[in-house]
């Protein structure tokens, strides 16, 4: 059995990489992919804790997160297509009307 610390550490590293992608990239599709990566990091933490406590509740949570991720990608990519149709661009710097 791998120590739980290392599983959660891997989860934190993947979450950090996903955060960097979501904050610094300007391609909307890559930003969505980075958010998927962050959700996956959280799933890994859930599975690790589920194994450590010998309880299946964490794995049920992972199922729910996967469902939400699939729904989010479907709607998010629908928005990307609608945006591209209107602006001919998926660069987030071209969609800054609501930015302060």
Partner 1 sequence: MSEAVFFYFFAFLAVASALGMVLNLRNTVAAAMSLVVTMVALGAIYVLLEAHLIAVIQIMVYAGAIVVLFLFVVMLLNLRQDAFPPPRQRVVKGLGVLLAAAVCVAFLGALPGTLPDAAVTPEGFGGYREVGRVLFTDFVLPFEVTSLLLLAAMVGSVVLAKRSLD
Residue 26 and residue 92 in contact, taking contact as beta carbons nearer than 8 Å: yes
Total interface residues for partner 1 by CB under 8 A: 72
Minimum CB–partner distance for residue 60 and partner 1 (Å): 5
Q: Distances in Å between the alpha carbon of 56 and those of 49, 60, 89?
A: 10, 7, 44
Nearest to 46 by CA among 16, 15, 74: 15
Residue 33 and residue 21 in contact, taking contact as beta carbons nearer than 8 Å: yes
Q: Which of residues 31-90 bind partner 1 (CB under 8 A)?
A: 32-34, 36-37, 40, 43-44, 47-48, 50-57, 59-60, 62-64, 66-75, 77-82, 84-85, 89-90
Residue 3 or 97 with smaller CB distance to partner 1: 3
Minimum CB–partner distance for residue 40 and partner 1 (Å): 6
């Amino acid at each position: 059995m791998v120590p739980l610390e290392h599983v959660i550490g891997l989860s934190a590293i993947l979450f950090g990489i996903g955060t960097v992608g979501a904050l610094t990239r300007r391609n909307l599709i890559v930003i969505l992919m980075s958010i998927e990566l962050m959700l996956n990091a959280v799933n890994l933490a859930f599975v690790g804790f589920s194994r450590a406590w010998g309880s299946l509740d964490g794995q049920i949570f992972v199922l729910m997160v996967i469902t939400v991720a699939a729904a989010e990608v479907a709607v998010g990519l629908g928005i990307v297509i609608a945006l591209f149709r209107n602006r001919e661009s998926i660069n987030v710097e071209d969609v800054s009307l609501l930015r302060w």
